[in-house]
A = this chain, B = another copy of it.
Amino acid sequence: MNATGYAYGGQVPDWLAARAALAPHHPALVCGGERITFAELDRRANAVARRLAGRGIAPGGRVAVLLRNGTAMAELVHGAGRAGAVLVPLNTRLAPSEIAWQVADSRARLLIHDGATRGLVASMPAPVNAEVVDITIFNEGPEASASLREHIDLAAVHTIVYTSGTTGRPKGALLTYGNHWWSAVGSALNLGLHADDSWLAVLPLFHVGGLSILMRGAIYGMAVHIHEAFDPAAVNSAIDEGVTIVSAVATMLRRMLDQREGRPYPRTLRHVLLGGGPAPLPLLEECARLAVPVVQTYGLTETASQAATLAPADALRKLGSAGRPLLPTELRIERDGMPVRAGEPGEIVVRGPTVTPGYADRPEETAAALRDGWLHTGDLGYLDDEGYLYVLDRRGDLIISGGENVYPAEVEAVLLSHPAVADAGVAAQADERWGQVPVAYVVLSPGTPCTVEELLAYCRARLAGYKVPARCIVVPALPRNAAGKLMRQRLSELAAP
């Protein structure tokens, strides 16, 4: 091990251009009835680069985008870098003040929005230090002849993606071309790569889960089907029409199965990549019964998406596990900076070529998170004796009750294993005696009668006393962010007064 051991540098031909030369007529994007070939996407990416140059974006300049899923977003993802620009995709569900903060924090020179986000931009509290332009105007706007990049420097920054902010203030994670490249390669070495593959992007493209699909499309030479919003019937139709891989979160998959009413999926569906936390047992069992090829995964913005993935064969044998690290990635569990033994919980730390070089303009947070190449995720988990990862919790959600640690995800996993529970979240509630106590918020499965008392008895039979929820509240739905991640800090808003 040495200091240069983590410099995953090098230069490769522009992968979109390479795919356009190799298979110009192959579909690159399918979206809302439109089918865009690799040759056309390549041309549009060049046009984006010239338009950015036309608006004075110099190499290294940052461009914020606030766009719904669609081809315009994909064109910017592939085109910005050709002008040397760094893309800053913003969450379209942010509040106006949060958008203004992230635009300022990222030092973006340009903010591109669309019709759906125009109102958000107009409501920003103060004028931002960036040119604001509608995508339609941008696409009709001036072009400048820029010297477009022909090669991709793997060490160059492609994107700044703000972490979801379920804990603390958002930080902009730098993602290099190399991060995206190695993520695509690691995923292909795990999931395989077929000549007729196509990947459905129904997750937001401004999060790494959706963004990584666009990168893989160009690197693999694979069609990406973009859905503007999640519609279970539309996703099921796309699968029937031959989409081979779908990225989803558990709540989406639940709604897809409900809409389908037991009709099996075609064999062309190779993988449903399931992120966003542990999946409920009834859902996994139903998938096994219907031969839905679920692949559970653990990923972060800071690792350009998947860091560990559970193989379909292990889906039930390793229930609740996120699998083993992808080949180029190392993953271990640390406590006080030292690796712990199998079965012992600790902080999940990750090293390898998909790991971000750091947070934009945040040397202190970068130094805190990255030590000797290891990314300290702040997530808690353990490895079983076969090296399979179980994610226990986000560190910020840890409940400390009477000096004992309570990991909400562990309590949630027990609740989710009950056949009557469709969804569950656990959060801390202040308590005079214990400091904090866990409180459970559950969504019940329709048609499976169950009382709160039964659920608590179920927990008492399976958990140490201090982990059993002090209260259990039945709610119609849980708060999840755009990436499908449970926002535990908002659970208490659901509590009855």
The interface of chain A, by Cβ under 8 A from chain B, is 1, 4-13, 15, 18, 21-22, 151, 153, 185, 188-189, 192-195, 219-221, 311, 324-325, 327-330, 352-353, 386-387
21 pairs, A vs B, C-beta closer than 8 Å: A4-B9, A5-B9, A6-B11, A7-B9, A9-B9, A10-B353, A12-B353, A13-B325, A13-B328, A13-B330, A13-B352, A18-B327, A21-B386, A21-B387, A22-B324, A188-B189, A189-B219, A192-B193, A192-B195, A194-B194, A219-B327
Specify which chain B residues have a CB less than 8 angstroms from the CB of A21 in the assembled complex.
324, 386-387
Residues on the B chain within 8 Å of A192, using CB: 192-195
Least CB distance from A14 to B in Å reads: 10
| Cα–Cα distance between A48 and B311 once the two chains are bound (Å) | 31
Contacts of A325 in B (CB 8 A): 13
- Is B12 touching A328 in the complex (CB atoms < 8 A)? yes
Q: Whole-angstrom distance between the alpha carbons of A311 and B19 in the complex?
A: 13
Going nearest first, the 7 A-B pairs with the smallest beta carbon separation are A8-B10, A5-B11, A193-B193, A192-B193, A12-B328, A7-B9, A185-B185
Find the B residue at minimum CB distance from A323: B22
With a cutoff of 8 Å between Cβ atoms, the chain B residues found around residue A195 in the complex are 192
Q: Give the complex CA separation of A221 and B192 in angstroms.
A: 11
B residues less than 8 Å from A11 (CB atoms): 1, 5-6
Q: Whole-angstrom distance between the alpha carbons of A5 and B8 in the complex?
A: 10
Closest approach, in angstroms, between the C-beta of A318 and any C-beta of chain B?
12
Q: How many copies does the complex hold?
A: 2
- Alpha-carbon gap, A330 to B189, bound state (A): 23
> Could you say which of B8, B15, B220, B311 contacts A9, with CB atoms under 8 Å apart?
B8
User: A310 to nearest B CB, angstroms?
Assistant: 11
> Is the Cβ of B13 less than 8 Å from the Cβ of A327?
yes
Q: Contacting A352 at CB < 8 Å: which of B7, B12, B185, B194?
A: B12
Determine the distance from Cα of A221 to Cα of B324 in the docked complex, in whole angstroms. Answer: 14
Bound-state Cα–Cα, A328 to B152, Å? 10
CB distance from A231 to the nearest CB of B (A): 30
Add 17 more A-B contacts to A21-B387, A188-B189 (CB < 8 A): A1-B11, A5-B9, A8-B10, A10-B353, A12-B353, A13-B329, A13-B330, A22-B311, A22-B324, A185-B185, A188-B188, A188-B193, A189-B221, A192-B192, A192-B193, A192-B194, A192-B195
Query: From A352, which residue of chain B is reached at the shortest CB distance?
Result: B12
> Does the CB pair A5–B153 fall under 8 Å?
yes
Query: Which of A7, A10, A185 counts the most B-chain CB atoms under 10 A from its CB?
Result: A10
**Across the two chains, which residue of chain B brings its CB closest to A18?**
B327
Q: Which residues of B contact A8 (CB under 8 A)?
A: 8-10
- CB nearest to A195 among chain B residues: B192
User: When chains A and B are docked, how far (Å) is the Cα of A192 from the Cα of B1?
Assistant: 32
Q: How far is the CA of A327 from the CA of B14 in the complex (A)?
A: 9
Q: Name, among A9, A11, A192, A329, the residue most crowded by chain B CB atoms within 10 Å (CB to CB).
A: A11
CA gap between A12 and B6 in the complex, in Å: 9
- Taking CB atoms, residues of chain B closer than 8 Å to A10 are 5-9, 353
Which residues of chain B have C-beta atoms less than 8 A from A352's C-beta?
Answer: 12-13
A239–chain B nearest beta-carbon distance, Å: 19
Within the assembled complex, what's the spacing in Å between the Cα atoms of A7 and B192?
28
The distance in angstroms between the C-alpha atoms of A311 and B387, with both chains bound, is 39
- Shortest CB-to-CB span from A374 to chain B, Å, is 12
CA gap between A11 and B7 in the complex, in Å: 8
Q: Report the Cα distance A330→B10, complex, angstroms.
A: 13
Tell me, in angstroms, the Cα distance from A192 to B191 when the chains sit together.
11
CA distance A360 to B189 in the complex (A): 32
Chain B: minimal CB distance from A342 (Å): 12
CB of A15 within 8 A of CB of B327, answer yes
With the chains together, A254 CA to B193 CA distance in Å? 30
Q: How far is the CA of A393 from the CA of B289 in the complex (A)?
A: 58
- Shortest Cβ gap from A28 to chain B (Å): 15
Question: In the assembly, what is the distance between CA of A55 and CA of B192, in Å?
Answer: 40
A272 → B minimal CB distance (Å): 16
Bound Cα distance from A148 to B394, whole angstroms:
35
Complex Cα gap A387–B353 (Å):
31
Which residues on the B side are within 8 Å of A22 (C-beta)?
311, 324
Contacts of A328 in B (CB 8 A): 12-13
